[in-house]
Structures are given as C-alpha cells and as structure tokens.
Amino acid sequence: MNSLRLKKTMGLRRVVAAILFSMVLVFSGNVSVFDKGALAQDWVASAQAQIPPEQMTTKAMPADGLTFHFLKRYSPAIEKLAEEAPALRERAHQNLGLVDPAPIDVWILPKVSDYYALRGEPNRAPEWAVGLSLSGRSTIIVAHGGQRTPDDVMFTYAHELAHVAVDHARGDVPVPRWFHEGFAVMMAQEWTPERSEKLSQAAARGQLQPFSKLTRTFPSHQMSVSLAYDQSFHFVRWMQDKYGADFWARVMRQMEGGADFDGAIRAEAGITLPEIESQWHEQLSSSTNRWSILADETIIFFGVSLLFILAYIRARSRRRRQLASMEDDNSDEWRYDPARYPLPGD
C-alpha cells in the first residue's frame, strides 16, 4: 500500500513538474516580445515589494561590463559569482564572436518577481521562475531564495547570460528556439550522464524530434520538452565540434552581413541545415542503437533475473552430477576396516 501511494505521489509530482517546466519556456528568452495582455492576470498584477531598499547593495565591475544588485546577506554568493562571472561572460562572447558587448545588470534576489516590485512595475514572471533574461534591458535576474545554493545561482546566471549574448550577437535576425536553448545549455555546462543516456535511447528508438518543429516553441509535455533541450544542446555542440570552435562566431558574422540563420549556416558549412541535421541524426543513431538495448532498465532487470536462474540451474545440475558420481563409486573402496584403523586402547 505504501509503495502504491509513493508511486502515485511521484506521478503527481511529474505532472506538476511538466506543467511548470513547460511554462518556464515562455519566460526563458526575451520577455519584451510577449504581449502584456496575453499574460495571466495574476502575473501582470503589481507585486508587493517586501525588500526594504536599505537591504540592497551594488557591486560594480566596470572592467568586465557587469553590475550586481543584491541583498546584503547574499554577499558570500556574490563573491563567488563575481570570481567566475567574467570568465563565463567572456566564454559566451568568444563562442559568438562578440567584440564590444553591452554592459549587463545582474540582479540576485529572493524571487524573480522581486525585480519588478523594486522597480514598481507589473510582475511579468511566475512565482516559481528561478531565472530570467531581459535582453532589451541587458538584464539578468536570478533567484537565490529557498534552498537554492550559490552553485545554483552560478548555473542559472550562465544560462541566462547565454540568452542575452545570443540576442546581442544576432541583432535583428531571428534565430530558432533550439539554437537559443541549446547554446544556453552548452554555455552553462548543464549536460549530465543521465541526459546523455536519455538522448541515446531516444535516438535508438527513433524518437528524436525534427528541428523544424523546435523553431518557435518547445513542446509542453515533460518528456518531450526534456528531449528537446537535450537534442538541441547536442546538435549545437556537434556542429561546433564538426565545423570548428569558432563556427558559431562565423555564423553570427554571416548574419551581421545580411544572411538569415539558415543561409549563414549554409555559407559556413557548405551544405544546408536539413542536410546537416540528417548527418547528425544518422551519426547519433548509428553510434547508439547497438548499445541502447543495454540501457533499458526493463531489459537489464530481465537479463539479470535470467542469469540468476541459469546460474541456479547450473549449480543444481552440478550438485546432482556430484551425488550421482558418489553413488556410482565402488563402495568397497570406502568400507571401514577396523584392522587398519584401530581405536584407542586396542
């Protein structure tokens, strides 16, 4: 009964996580493109500021183009972030070929919505959001409330920073959603062995989604959106590995010269984006389908169980042969001879 209740609870959590995760996609990019009237009423309502201004402080890093705004009690996390932030920013800019990027304001607050409250603006972020990039303002907002650690703040900063960098590099040329998110995951180094395993299984089973369906939005289902992030990252990194570390910087220069995203990739890669996708898909599938069966938990359990049964049968058969061998032996050879083995006192 307890096991059944636990499974139901975990299932409910997955459903809730799927809903929340799909909603955060809407707010992970440039918020200025959304119509205020389309947002839910409770999101656009003015937030109630709970942060006294005297608790806020600022750390300016003009040489690195960064200014941090944060609660004074967040100073330990900010010190750690300030050590890594310039290198993370430089890495994103190098990958995109940004030479003279605009300064960025980074707000570290208990909740993302606190940013709007401090500015006296309508709240445009859900309460559960942990990060937001406002490219039009060169602003990044990262939540540090609840159980979020300084490392969590670091990863979120790197992810949102990548979104701002992409928007600065692309100018007015649209880029697909899969590139935006794939590049952000790559810059934040959010790849894990678990995500790699899931992508391998999806490739072997023919479950990869065409990137043409990931141009504007990502799917809302938890498993589908997770796969969309995974394959977007893998595709972005795969192209960079295949065509050179400066590939995306060259693509951005092509766009700066007037090419659209697909045309810029064709100019640098020599083939069209669909052709590149076909090569990536074929290579990923061929390198994983022969091993993917080993990653299936059901098959692993069945295989281990089968091996256990076979081992038991083999051991039992060996025991029977040993007993039969003992019965077939000459009994005279083992007969007790009192003359050969006298007892004490005889």
CATH for 79: 3.30.2010.30
- The reply to whether 166 and 180 lie within a common domain is no
57: domain range? Answer: 28-170
In a domain? residue 334: no
| Residue 215 within any structural domain of the chain | yes
Same domain membership, residue 138 and residue 38: yes
pLDDT of amino acid 313: 66
Same domain, 82 and 100: yes
pTM above 0.75, yes or no: no
Cβ contacts of 258-267, under 8 Å, gap ≥ 24: 259/173, 260/173, 260/174, 261/170, 261/173, 261/174, 261/175, 261/176, 261/179, 265/239
Q: Which long-range contacts (CB under 8 A, 24 or more apart) does 205-211 make?
A: 205/292, 206/285, 208/281, 208/284, 208/285, 210/277, 211/176, 211/178, 211/235, 211/273, 211/277
Residue 328 lies in a domain: no
Domain boundary residue among 140, 170, 200?
170
Regarding whether 164 and 41 lie in a shared domain, the answer is yes
pLDDT for the residue numbered 43: 36
Return the C-alpha torsion angle 255, 261, 266, 267, nearest 10: 0
- Please give the Cα distance from 155 to 188 (Å, whole number): 6
Q: Does some domain include residue 14? A: no
Residues 215 and 299 in one domain: yes
Residue 346, pLDDT score: 47
Tokens (6 digits) for 199: 């992508």
Any domain includes 307: yes
Q: How much is the pLDDT for 228? A: 92
- Residue 133: strand pairing partners: 140
Do 111 and 143 belong together in one domain? yes
Average pLDDT of adjacent 10-residue blocks, the chain of 346 residues: 41 41 39 32 42 92 94 93 93 93 93 93 86 92 91 94 95 96 93 86 89 90 86 96 97 97 98 96 74 42 53 64 52 45 44
On whether both 182 and 306 belong to a single domain, the answer is: yes
Task: Using alpha carbons, select from 191, 160, 192 the residue that is nearest to residue 92.
Answer: 160
Same domain for 206 and 308? yes
Is 4 among the domain residues?
no
Residue 346 belongs to some domain of the structure: no
CA 106 to chain centre: 22
107 and 181 Cβ atoms separated by less than 8 Å: no
Same domain for 133 and 192: no
Q: How many structural domains does the chain have?
A: 2
Determine the pLDDT at residue 210: 94
pLDDT on residue 272: 97
Has residue 20 been placed in a domain? Answer: no
Are 237 and 119 in a shared domain?
no
Assess whether 166 and 61 both reside in one domain.
yes
| Residue with the two structure tokens 């700066």 | 256
Same domain, 151 and 264: no
| Residue 90 pLDDT | 93
